[in-house]
Chain A
Amino acid sequence: MKEFTPAPDSTSIVSVTDRVKPVTLGMGVTAVHFLGPRAAFVGAEENVAFVDSQGEIGTVAVHSGGILSVASDGKRLVMGGDDGKVVSLDPKGEVTLLATDPKRRWIDAVALHPDGAFAWSAGKTAIVKSGKEDEKSIEVPSTVGGLAFAPKGLRLAIAHYNGATLWFPNMAGSAEFLPWAGSHLGVTFSPDNKFLVTTMHESALHGWRLADNRHMRMTGYPGRVRSMSWSAGGKALATSGADSVILWPFASKDGPMGKEPAMLAPLQARVSVVACHPKNDIFAAGYSDGTVLMVRLEDGAEILVRRNGTPPAAAIAWNAKGTLLAFADENGDGGLLEL
Chain B
Amino acid sequence: MSEATSQKIPVTVLTGYLGAGKTTLLNRILSENHGKKYAVIVNEFGEIGIDNDLIIGADEEVFEMNNGCICCTVRGDLVRIMDGLMKRKGKFDAIIVETTGLADPAPVAQTFFVDEDVQKNARLDAVVTVADAKWLSDRLKDAPEAKNQIAFADVIVLNKTDLVTKAELAEVEARIRAINPYAKLHRTERCSVALADVLDRGAFDLDRILDIEPDFLNADDHDHDHHHHDGHDHHHDHGHGLKHYHDEDMQSLSLKTDKPLDPNVFMPWLQNLVQVEGGKILRSKGILAFHDDDDRYVFQGVHMMLEGNHQRKWKDGEPRQSRLVFIGRELPEELIRTGFESCIVS
* CB–CB A28/B63 < 8 A: no
Q: Does B84 contact A (CB under 8 A)?
A: yes
> B65: which A residues are within 8 A, CB to CB?
182, 201-202
B80 and A143 within 8 A (CB)? yes
Total contacts A-B at CB 8 Å = 66
Q: Chain A interface secondary structure, helix, strand, loop or mixed?
A: loop
Cβ contacts under 8 Å, B63 to chain A? 161, 182-183, 201
CB–CB A108/B84 < 8 A: yes
Contact code string A58-91 (vs B, CB < 8 Å = 1, else 0): 0000000111100000000000001000000000
Instruction: Say yes or no: B45 contacts A223, CB within 8 Å.
Output: no
CB within 8 Å for A44 and B80 given contacts A103-B45, A106-B56 = no
Contact B66 A82 (CB under 8 A): no
Interface residues of B: mostly helix, strand, loop or mixed? Answer: mixed
Q: How distant is B6 from chain A, measured CB to nearest CB, in Å?
A: 19
**When chains A and B are docked, how far (Å) is the Cα of A44 from the Cα of B76?**
21
Minimum CB–CB distance from A108 to chain B (whole Å) comes to 6
Q: Are A66 and B117 in contact (CB under 8 A)?
A: no
Q: How far is the CB of B78 from chain A (nearest CB, A)?
A: 11
Beyond A106-B56, A181-B66, A201-B79, is A143–B61 a contact (Cβ under 8 Å)? yes
Q: Does B47 contact A (CB under 8 A)?
A: no
Measured in the bound complex, the distance between the Cα atoms of B99 and A53 in whole Å is 50
The answer, yes or no, to whether B53 is at the interface (CB within 8 Å) is: yes
User: Chain B's nearest CB lies how many Å from the CB of A48?
Assistant: 14
> Is A249 part of the contact surface with B, judged by Cβ < 8 Å?
no
- Interface residues contributed by chain B, number (CB under 8 Å): 27
B87 lies within 8 A of A67 (CB)? yes
Residues of B within 8 Å of A165, CB to CB, are: none
Contact among B66, B77, B79, B87 with A182 in the assembled complex (CB-CB below 8 Å): B66
A142 interface residue per 8 A CB criterion: yes
| Contact between A143 and B77, CB atoms less than 8 A apart | yes
A161 and B88 in contact, given A183-B63, A202-B66 (Cβ under 8 angstroms):
no
Q: Interface of A with B (CB < 8 Å)?
A: 28, 30, 44-45, 65-68, 82, 103, 105-106, 108, 123-124, 142-143, 145, 161, 181-183, 200-202, 223-224
A sample of 23 cross-chain residue pairs with beta-carbon separation below 8 angstroms, ordered by A number, consists of A28-B87, A30-B87, A44-B88, A44-B89, A82-B56, A103-B45, A106-B56, A106-B81, A108-B80, A124-B59, A142-B61, A143-B59, A143-B80, A145-B80, A161-B61, A161-B76, A181-B66, A183-B63, A200-B66, A201-B65, A201-B74, A201-B115, A202-B67
What 4 A-B pairs are tightest by C-beta distance, nearest first?
A44-B87, A66-B87, A182-B66, A66-B88
